[in-house]
């Protein structure tokens, strides 16, 4: 029995010694987990917006309207592309009175009644925030009038077309809702107005708009 116990102890010691001489088992580091964006901006959206506009060297005033658009963001990418259409009713106006001598005072007034655009958007998403630039086609309906004491008043309306470019910041504050702030520069071509049979060239209209808005995103 003693010999059997001694043989067992010797075998255990020899096995432990052999195990101590074995090289350490290599450690395999787990691959990093894939980074998944917390927000995805893809899909249709509609919204409301409003703000303040001013013409270069001219009138100013407020506006309000709506927006509809669509975004594309591929999984794993922070780049967002889209198309957006907006339109607004406005009261951006200016009035100037000139003295032509002999008591003849002529007042000219202009008022942008509405405007809109069709633009492409390109942005960079940082989770819930989206920095973007946009640009494309723009239009505006403008009314111009002339009046003078003793001569009466004349008015005409024309739709101007041109381009717009700008950008802004949009933030997703709820799963389906975002808020934005945006600046746009719009340049519209000249149109000819008819004042009682007398044509008058309007010249280019350059418009600066600052807007805020809220969008609902369909998921």
Confidence band of 72 (pLDDT split at 50, 70, 90): very high
Confidence band of 39 (pLDDT split at 50, 70, 90): confident
Q: Among candidates 184, 185, 198, 193, which has minimal Cα distance to 159? A: 193
Dump the DSSP string for 43-69.
Answer: EEEEEEEEEEEEETTS-EEEEEEEEEE
Range with lowest mean pLDDT among 8-12, 123-127, 172-176? 8-12
Taking the CB of residue 125, how many other CB atoms lie within 10 A of it? Answer: 22
What span, in angstroms and rounded, lies between the C-alpha atoms of 49 and 67?
A: 7
What pTM, to 2 d.p., does this model score? Answer: 0.79
In this prediction, residue 18 carries a pLDDT of 46
- Give the start-to-end residue ranges of the domains of the chain: 50-217
pLDDT tens-digit map of 112-133: 999 999 999 999 999 899 999 9
Beta-bridge mates of residue 11: none
In this prediction, residue 36 carries a pLDDT of 46
Ranges 30-39, 46-55, 92-101, most confident: 46-55
Q: Among candidates 48, 59, 86, 92, which has minimal Cα distance to 180? A: 48
More confident residue, 178 or 101: 178
CA terminus-to-terminus distance, the chain: 79
Pick the CATH number of 50-217 from 2.60.40, 2.40.160, 2.40.50, 1.10.3470: 2.40.160
């Amino acid at each position: 029995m003693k010999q059997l116990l001694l043989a067992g102890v010797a075998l255990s010691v020899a096995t432990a010694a052999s195990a101590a001489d074995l090289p350490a088992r290599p450690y395999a580091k787990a691959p990093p987990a894939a980074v998944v964006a917390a927000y995805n901006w893809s899909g249709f959206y509609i919204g409301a917006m409003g703000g303040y506009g001013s013409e270069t060297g001219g009138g100013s005033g407020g506006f309000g309207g709506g927006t509809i658009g669509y975004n594309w963001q591929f999984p794993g990418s922070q780049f967002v592309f889209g198309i957006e259409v907006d339109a607004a009713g406005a009261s951006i106006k200016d009035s100037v009175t000139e003295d032509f001598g002999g008591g003849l005072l002529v007042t000219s007034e202009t008022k942008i009644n509405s405007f809109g655009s069709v633009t492409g958007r390109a942005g960079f998403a940082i989770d819930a925030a989206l920095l973007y630039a946009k640009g494309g086609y723009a239009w505006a309906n403008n009314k111009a009038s002339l009046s003078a004491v003793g001569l009466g008043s004349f008015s005409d309306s024309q739709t101007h077309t041109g381009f717009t470019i700008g950008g802004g910041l949009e933030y997703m504050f709820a799963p389906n809702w975002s808020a934005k702030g945006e600046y746009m520069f719009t340049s519209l071509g000249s149109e000819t107005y008819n004042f009682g049979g007398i044509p008058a060239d309007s010249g280019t209209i350059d418009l600066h708009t600052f807007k805020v808005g809220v969008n609902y995103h369909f998921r």
